[in-house]
Structure formats: C-alpha cells, structure tokens
C-alpha cells in the first residue's frame, strides 16, 4: 500500500498540522553531529532476561475492577456496551 498518510490521519486528530515550535526542535536534531552514530551499541539496559519473564498466566480481575471497567465504558444500551459503527474500506 503506497497511500501517503498525513499527520492528521496518523494522529487521528482532525486538521492537525506540524507546528513551528516543534519543527524548530527537529531542525536541531537534523543538524546535529552525533559522536556515536551507531544507535544500537547503546548502554540502555532495560531489557528483560528470558529467565526473568513474568509467568504467562491469565489473572482474573476482581469483581470491583470489572464493575469499574464497565462503568468507564462510554455507552450502554439495554444492558449491552455499544461501540461506534465499524466500516470497511
């Protein structure tokens, strides 16, 4: 698919346009000369060891948690939670 997506579509924000304040920040990055050009030999060590993964189990929510999740749902009709109409393009 070669369709060009504009930032308003990517952001799901009607009429959104890039801003000058933010573009000024990006210009600095474009013109910067990183001393270290390899972004993957980094020392960010926020990975998780395979031995340390959390258990792959389903955790049942409490009754209160379920009730609040339902309360937060924006629309309800005749006991059903209502979503917007979905169309296929």
Instruction: Decide: is 26 part of the binding site for other proteins (CB under 8 A).
Output: yes
Q: How far apart are CA 74 and CA 87, in angstroms?
A: 20
Q: What are phi and psi of 34, to 5 degrees?
A: -65, 135
**Smallest distance, Å, CB 78 to other proteins?**
17
H-helix or E-strand spanning residue 81:
strand 80-81
Instruction: Decide: is 74 part of the binding site for other proteins (CB under 8 A).
Output: yes
Residues that bind other proteins (CB under 8 A): 5, 7-8, 10-22, 24-26, 28-30, 32, 34-39, 41-44, 46, 48, 52-55, 61, 64-65, 68-69, 71-75, 83-87
């Amino acid at each position: 698919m070669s369709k060009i997506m504009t930032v308003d579509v990517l952001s799901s924000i009607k009429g959104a346009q890039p801003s000058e304040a933010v573009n000024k920040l990006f210009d600095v990055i474009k013109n910067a000369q990183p001393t270290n050009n390899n972004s993957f030999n980094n020392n960010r060590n926020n990975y998780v060891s395979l031995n340390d993964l959390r258990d792959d189990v389903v955790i049942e929510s409490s009754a209160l948690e379920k009730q609040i999740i339902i309360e937060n749902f924006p629309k309800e009709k005749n006991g059903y939670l209502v979503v917007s109409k979905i169309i296929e393009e």
